[in-house]
Amino acid sequence: MKDTLNNKTYDDLEVGMTAHQTRLCRADDLYVFANASGNLNPMHLPKADGDGDGEPEALAPGMWVASLISGVLGCQLPGPGTLYHSQNLRFVNRAHAGDELTAHVRLTAKGADRKVRFDTWVDRADGVRILEGEAEVFAPERSVQFSTGDLPGLTVRRHEHFDRLLEKAAPLPAIPTAVVAPEEPDALAGAILGAEHTLITPILIGDPAKIEAAAEVERIDLAPYRIVAEPSHKAAAARAVAMVHEGEAAAVMKGHLHTDVLLAQIVKSDGGLRIGRRLSHVFVMDVPGLEHLLMVTDAAINISPDLQTKADIIQNAIDLALSLGIEEPKVGVLSAVEVVNPAIPSTLDAAILSKMAERGQITGGLVDGPLAMDNAIDLGAAQTKGIRSLVAGRAEILVAPNMEAGNMLAKELTFLAHAEAGGVVMGAKCPIILNSRADDEQARLASCAVAALNAWARTG
């Protein structure tokens, strides 16, 4: 749409004048229309099956298509100041999300009281007519200019990146997963949800009576699932680690126990799951409006990481990103500023980490820093600061200077930007799923999908 709109007054109009406007019908348009109109007919929702045939229809609502005609009348001919008097419509075909549509108007008559009549129609890019009709509007009396530059934008809160992860993981066999102490309803429900979507095959380790009580609350049938009785959380965590060594489990999932209890068994020098690298947590985030997955690390394990720990944190995140199908992940090492300042130690670490990546001490991705948050994720902000980098403005992995900053960043994205966040611990022999009570179903499923994809990547 033009930044400045100009109109034609009633006196300027001549019979035969035409105008048109082309618009791609996006899935997001259908969600916006559903919310704005209150029309929640599943025939028009991109992923819903509205007629029971097993396939989503994603039909563009008729009145959304008709609104394209309103767009031409209100923005072009006659333009700003135009008001509707009447519109009739004949729908002769249907449009779907993904169709390119062109709305046309042609002035056919001028009447009294500034009333003008138009033929109106909408065609698909292949020439198929979608609708036709006539509109009568009140043309503007005076010339008007209108700037659209201050028009608020819209961000649709859906999570298509997580949907793609789930689609990618769906064909893979479910990975056997040792679930430690699923003794509360939310902990058990998360594991069973992953099983129902064929992402994991849960092995429930803990107190059988507590597991059965949690299942009763959630109305879960435990018959299909193996239960391993262990009297304490420490013993349950130790049994999960042993199962990984024995090849019975390809992932570990935290249930209702303290994270420290679980990690103590994973990191112990004799019989743990460490592989010579520091463990670190990676949030995998689907941020509405962002065109790619975003990873934030470390926000849960390493409180004040030193330089070598940060190198491990970066390598862990790169390895995870590669397993999710991200080619040559772009890593932004964050600080408060984008220049090296000896008074800010995190800028020194970031610069050294960038050089370590250049020299092959960190592999598989592009690493740059220090970067401030704005120029790490926004290309315009990076260009304004004169930063020339393949990472700046395009970062897919954000490395926080410490756990406090990482945790705050992840929670700000979740609660202010409405991001969904799945999380896993990397740096061990297998992925470790850490769910939170606050996680909704989408986040729990995403964590399972991330773990499944990573587990399968390790095998091959």
In 3-state terms, what secondary structure has residue 449?
helix
Q: Is 145 helix (H, G, I), strand (E, B) or coil?
A: strand
| Residue among 114, 166, 167 nearest 141 (CA) | 114
Residues 72, 105: contact at Cβ < 8 Å? yes
- 6, β-bridge pairs: 145
Residue 397: strand pairing partners: 295, 331
| Per CATH, domain 159-275+430-450 is 3.40.47.10 | no
List the chain residues with pLDDT less than 50: 1
Which tens digit of pLDDT belongs to each residue from 335-354?
999 999 999 999 999 999 99
Q: How many whole angstroms separate alpha carbon 167 and alpha carbon 423?
A: 18
Topology of domain 4-147 in CATH is: Thiol Ester Dehydrase; Chain A (3.10.129)
pLDDT of residue 154: 75
Q: Could you identify the residue written with the tokens 């790619």?
A: 292
Q: Give CA–CA dist 331/294, Å, rounded.
A: 10
pLDDT in tens, 157-199: 667 888 889 889 989 999 999 999 999 998 999 999 999 999 9
Given a contact cutoff of 8 angstroms between Cβ atoms, the answer to whether 133 and 88 are in contact is: yes
Residues 6+ apart with CB under 8 A from 84: 70, 73, 135, 136, 137, 138
Output the 3-class SS for 370-413: EECHHHHHCHHHHHHCCCCCCCCCCCCEEECCCHHHHHHHHHHH
pLDDT of residue 157: 66
Starting from the edge strand earliest in sequence, which strands make up the sheet with 432-433, in order? 226-229, 200-206, 175-180, 251-254, 432-433, 420-426, 280-286, 294-297, 397-399, 330-334, 366-371
Residue-level pLDDT at 151: 80
Q: Which pLDDT value is given to residue 313?
A: 98
Query: What class has domain 277-427?
Result: alpha beta
pLDDT at 79: 95
Distance (Å, whole) CA 347 – CA 352: 9
Domain extents for the chain? 4-147, 159-275+430-450, 277-427
pLDDT digits (tens, 9 = 90+) for 95-130: 999 999 999 999 999 999 999 999 999 999 999 999
Say what the pLDDT of residue 1 is.
Answer: 47
